[in-house]
Amino acid sequence: MLIDTLDKLEAIKPRLLACTDPCVDTETTGLSIFGNAERPRDQVIGVAIEAGGEAYYLPLRHSSGRNLPLTVLPFLRAYLSDPDRTYLGYNYGYDLHMMERDLQVPMAPKFEDAMLALHLINENEPTFKLKEVCDRYGIGDGSLQESVLEDKVFERCRELGVPCSRSAKAADNVKSQMHVLDPADVEPYACDDVRLTRQLMDLLRPALEAQGLDRIFGQVNYYDRITVEMEHVGMHVDRDLVERYRAEAEGHAAEAQAALNDAAGFELNPNSPKRVCEWLGTSSSSAQVLQDLIDAGGDGAERARLIQEARGWRSVDSRYYTPYLQEMDSGGVLHCSLNLIGTYTGRLACSHPNLQAVAKATKVFKVKDVFTARPGFTMIQADYKQAEMRLVTHYTKDPTMRELILSDADLHSATAELLGIPRQAAKRINFSVIYGIGYRKLSENLKVEPEVGRDYLERYHALYPGFRRLMAQCEEFAKEYGYIEMWTGRMRHFNVPAADPHKAMSNLIQGGVAEVVRVAISRLYPAVRELGGRMLMQVHDSVIFEVPDEALSVALPTFKLIMEDFDFDPPMGVDVEYGKSWGAFRRWDPEEGVPEATGGHGRPLEGLHRPEDVPDEVVQERSRDEATGGHGRPLGEAGGPRGRAACPEGLPEAPVGSIQRGAQMSIFDVLGEGE
């Protein structure tokens, strides 16, 4: 229903106000939430709301036809941010951003995102686009409505002489030009979005309950709310320093190129694999080959060094400095996109730009220097140390590895000494063992004979026998039952050909560590906010914050305490650093203590409390003395929905349905229904 007058809005207010879980979607001029040098910030042209079984479209900024007057915004701001309502959406973080930035609607504290529910139930879905998902499950005719709308937009733009492309990647794609249409032409499409989302969630909810994921779903939505806020705050960048480093990189790149050309005797493009291989006499010009040549010394070392340096100075500008200048907003802040469905195991993915892939500091790559704390604030990074090794040892109960971790030993040196093998070999195995590395691959990586690689692995598994045993148990369980369950109850499914059960242990550990970080961030958020600080970024197993200078001495021990508060054995450990820029962090030593300080509002540490909107289960979520599933059962104990086992070491009495490998898993498989 089109709501384009104040009288129509007044008529539907009783139904809107009576609904405690409205489904909301925004129609916009594009995807640029914050604006940058390449594209201005996009706008909301209308809001679709489904409430009480009826769908409404409220047009606000169409360039033709009748819009609601913007005097309705105070009502929408209050209605769309009500703490007593739970909002439903699809990829709702985007809508939260657009409503906050463009309509000044405060971010709602409670919502459910159907896209996150779908990913929890089946991370192997072939697509997570709403229309295609609904087509797959026979919900509505969203693709038809979308096609009709696109045709109307394209034809109208042609009439007006406005640029319009059918390519979704184009800046002037048809979705970004919907504003040229009369609201009546957009209403069927906009209302269909919220109807489809509601119907999809109605299908997903019993599937969540069938897998025992309904509690995790609530926690993941809360985590999503925090990541949306991290995106919103962004990372502050010193624009002047970026410009200076960029100019420096351009100068050094020219010098490095000249030196390379002199050595080669001709103009050599360092990024041309063919020419570089010919000059080096190698079959590959990869970064690893260059480093191997440098490490080996001799004539090839200097040539490889010249290639490496020329590439480095070019790369640091093209990968970091220039894109940062293009992508930062007018306030000098980079707002990346954090994706909760970007991996199969639930690990957070980052893009536009990918701040999880900022290079380690070298004389060439000084990138982290440009990320600075805002005035009056100090940055903190809290990093889980050896997180994957600690978690896998919790499962395997290997006494030798456990003692090494508890003694804070250098795991690579200690393993090398115990096995009588080179440290590099021990390091490679420690990092690769949870991925199921074989002796042939290990031999290739270490550049040793296969027999040597086999010997290294056999010695390793003799010292730490639990690793191989756990891998076999996980693989066997994944093959038989089609899933593996992490310590919180989150599941990784192995019901499509691309999901390899051989990777079950690595998924268990990688996903388990991701769950540790998710739970920790959810616990940290109230304390960070109470101290007047902000969460800025999650970089794999670490979290970056900034806090007021006067709160630093309280924040350091508080964050470490919260992040280590799990009952794993061996326990989780956290290293904490702080400083005025990401590139100039100083490690904090708890033994040194901290000066007397108060929280950001003058309250001592013990006066901190969590806001009421933090779910109890997030605060209470802990591991147990033994590895447990999402229902608190010890490792190997059967039970739960549909007879699922909590962890891989035991087998449940009943299998999980009759899902066959090789078939494309669907929600109906979970529910035991035919499509």
- Of 120, 315, 295, residue with least CA distance to 221: 120
pLDDT for res 295? 85
Task: Say if residue 64 is in the same domain as residue 122.
Answer: yes
Residues 6 or more apart in contact with residue 123 via CB below 8 angstroms: 341, 344, 345, 346, 492, 493
Count of CA atoms in the C-beta half-sphere (13 A) of 144: 6
Residue pair 404/269 in contact by the 8 Å Cβ criterion = no
Residue pair 536/513 in contact by the 8 Å Cβ criterion = no
pLDDT for res 665? 52
Buried b (16+ CB within 10 A) or exposed e, 287-298: eebbebbbeeee
Phi, psi of 534 (to 5 degrees): -140, 145
Task: Map residue 218 onto helix, strand or coil.
Answer: helix
pLDDT for res 666? 54
* Beta strands per DSSP E along 77-124: 87-89, 111-113
Locate 352 and state its tokens.
């536009």
- Ranking 229-243, 387-401, 409-423, 660-674 by mean pLDDT, the lowest is 660-674
Task: Say if residue 104 is in the same domain as residue 190.
Answer: yes
Last residue within a domain, chosen from 510, 529, 551: 510
% of the chain residues with pLDDT over 90? 73
**pLDDT-based confidence at residue 670 (cuts at 50, 70, 90):** low
Task: Say if residue 50 is in the same domain as residue 171.
Answer: yes
The pLDDT of residue 283 is above 60? yes
How many domains are there within the chain?
Answer: 3
Task: Say if residue 183 is in the same domain as residue 254.
Answer: no
pLDDT for res 590? 87
Task: Identify whether 361 is part of a domain.
Answer: no
Q: How far is C-alpha 376 from the chain's CA centre?
A: 29
Task: Identify whether 169 is part of a domain.
Answer: yes
Average pLDDT, the chain: 87
pLDDT for res 669? 54
Task: Map residue 545 onto helix, strand or coil.
Answer: strand
Q: Who has greater pLDDT, 544 or 667?
A: 544
pLDDT for res 399? 94
pLDDT for res 219? 96
**Which whole-number Å values give the CA distances from 71 to 60, 202, 241, 297, 421, in the listed order?**
10, 34, 43, 73, 74
Amino acid identity, position 151 = D
Task: Say if residue 185 is in the same domain as residue 268.
Answer: no
- Sign of the torsion formed by the C-alpha atoms of 285, 288, 290 and 293: negative
Buried b (16+ CB within 10 A) or exposed e, 557-572: ebbbebbeebebbbeb
pLDDT for res 425? 87
Task: Identify whether 126 is part of a domain.
Answer: yes
For the residues 329-344, what does the mean pLDDT come to?
93
Q: Who has greater pLDDT, 644 or 413?
A: 413
What CATH number corresponds to the domain at position 432? 1.10.150.20
Task: Say if residue 65 is in the same domain as residue 142.
Answer: yes
- Of 349, 386, 327, 345, residue with least CA distance to 537: 349
Residue pair 55/197 in contact by the 8 Å Cβ criterion = no
Report the DSSP pairing between strands 542-548 and 534-539.
Answer: antiparallel
Task: Identify whether 334 is part of a domain.
Answer: no
Q: How far apart are the first and last CA of the chain?
A: 31
Tens of pLDDT, residue by residue over 587-639, are 999 887 664 443 333 333 333 333 334 444 444 443 333 333 332 222 232 22
Task: Identify whether 505 is part of a domain.
Answer: yes
Task: Say if residue 414 is in the same domain as residue 462.
Answer: yes
Instruction: Determine the structural domain holding residue 319 and report its residue range.
Output: 239-327
Tens of pLDDT, residue by residue over 285-324, are 999 889 889 988 887 899 999 999 999 999 999 999 999 9
For the residues 203-222, what does the mean pLDDT come to?
95
Task: Say if residue 123 is in the same domain as residue 171.
Answer: yes
- Ranking 47-61, 377-391, 448-462 by mean pLDDT, the lowest is 448-462
pLDDT for res 598? 37
Task: Identify whether 289 is part of a domain.
Answer: yes
- Of 51, 7, 61, 53, residue with least CA distance to 25: 51
Distance (Å, whole) CA 66 – CA 68: 7
Count of CA atoms in the C-beta half-sphere (13 A) of 331: 12
What CATH number corresponds to the domain at position 204? 3.30.420.10
Task: Say if residue 43 is in the same domain as residue 142.
Answer: yes
For the residues 513-534, what does the mean pLDDT come to?
96
For the residues 35-58, what does the mean pLDDT come to?
93
For the residues 104-111, what does the mean pLDDT come to?
95
One-character DSSP codes across 220-252: HHHHHHHHHHHHHH-EEB-HHHHHHHHHHHHHH
Task: Identify whether 519 is part of a domain.
Answer: no
Amino acid identity, position 574 = V
For the residues 325-340, what does the mean pLDDT come to?
94
pLDDT for res 144? 86
Q: How many residues are given for the chain?
A: 675
Last residue within a domain, chosen from 510, 543, 561: 510
Last residue within a domain, chosen from 307, 327, 347: 327
Locate 556 and state its tokens.
């350091």
Distance (Å, whole) CA 671 – CA 366: 52
Distance (Å, whole) CA 587 – CA 541: 17
Task: Say if residue 422 is in the same domain as residue 505.
Answer: yes
Count of CA atoms in the C-beta half-sphere (13 A) of 641: 19
For the residues 228-257, what does the mean pLDDT come to?
95
Task: Say if residue 47 is in the same domain as residue 156.
Answer: yes
What CATH number corresponds to the domain at position 285? 1.20.1060.10
For the residues 18-31, what does the mean pLDDT come to?
95
Residue pair 174/150 in contact by the 8 Å Cβ criterion = yes
Task: Identify whether 114 is part of a domain.
Answer: yes
Task: Say if residue 70 is in the same domain as residue 159.
Answer: yes
For the residues 30-49, what does the mean pLDDT come to?
90
